[in-house]
Structure 1
């Protein structure tokens, strides 16, 4: 029970971080409009911060906030399959994701660490810092799918998709 409450608390904080990044990106976007069209002083840093925050929002959100049932996927065959077939399809997919991300991880680490030589044009952010979120994303995906595969293997089969319950995640 204590682990579940800690997980809920961490999930809520991840949502808070994601919301703060979205607010900051929106504020930078509004500043860009004000500087460019009202003050006639185009600035580049607002565009750069918007792009950086968008990268972080997508990858941080996919790593820590978006739940498995909220993922977008093509699932006509999966939804029509029975519990045993769904379990097998999920395990094959999870094994493929873990293997592909795991195999590519050393090269990704090398590339991200190599990018310390480059910096963004306006904010002077090192690219290794900027793209470090991708390393976090890859590790989170690997851990998530190992955990989900374990649950699928030793627990119940993945749930059948119910389009009546599809929504925004709320």
Structure 2
């Protein structure tokens, strides 16, 4: 059961990476189209900028919610790495619960704002803003779930991989 659940999770993670790559490819193609129209044809177009901005926002929030692993997140490695495993678990627990509380408090207002934005549309493509902003609601819920999972792991003594000072990197 556990291995099949891990297999499904790995498959979903791979599809999320594929979707993120498609967003990046879309943003790149639209950026090239924008350059061609503006500088080669001397015909500036606005919809390309609109798509680029939307793809950027969606890439950042979708990627953080579903693609970036916890080990790739930015943290204060100097303090975290110097702490004993039990202190690291306490640090994870405190930060996770703080984020759960903050995201949970803000979630009703976020959802209300997203629903309110159905009255506005983008300038060129006339896409409803509630569709565009919906990714933040998805991101907030995903962060609550992720942080609850990390807090649960910290409570039950499951420490992240032992911190290795020789392997500190930018996450790449």
TM-score, structure 1 as length reference: 0.95
> Where does 1:10-29 land on structure 2 (aligned, <5 Å)?
10-29=12-31
Alignment match of 1:78 (pick from 70, 80, 85): 80
- For residue 51 of structure 1, what is the aligned residue in structure 2? 53
- For residue 63 of structure 2, what is the aligned residue in structure 1? 61
Is 1:83–1:157's contact at 8 Å kept on the other side of the alignment? yes
Residue 40, structure 1, aligned to residue 42, structure 2: yes
Structure 2 unmatched runs, 5+: none
Q: Distance in 2 between matches of 1:102 and 1:36?
A: 44
Alignment match of 2:4 (pick from 2, 5, 15): 2
- For residue 131 of structure 1, what is the aligned residue in structure 2? 133
The Cα of 1:79 is off from its aligned counterpart by 1.2
The Cα of 1:166 is off from its aligned counterpart by 3.9
Q: Distance in 2 between matches of 1:67 and 1:163?
A: 19
Q: Distance in 2 between matches of 1:78 and 1:66?
A: 19
Q: Aligned residues, how many?
A: 170
Is 2:117–2:129's contact at 8 Å kept on the other side of the alignment? yes
CA 76–113 in structure 1, closer or farther in 2 if over 3 Å, else same: same
The Cα of 1:43 is off from its aligned counterpart by 0.2
- For residue 31 of structure 1, what is the aligned residue in structure 2? 33
- For residue 120 of structure 1, what is the aligned residue in structure 2? 122
Q: Distance in 2 between matches of 1:123 and 1:162?
A: 49
The Cα of 1:151 is off from its aligned counterpart by 1.2
Q: Distance in 2 between matches of 1:72 and 1:164?
A: 17
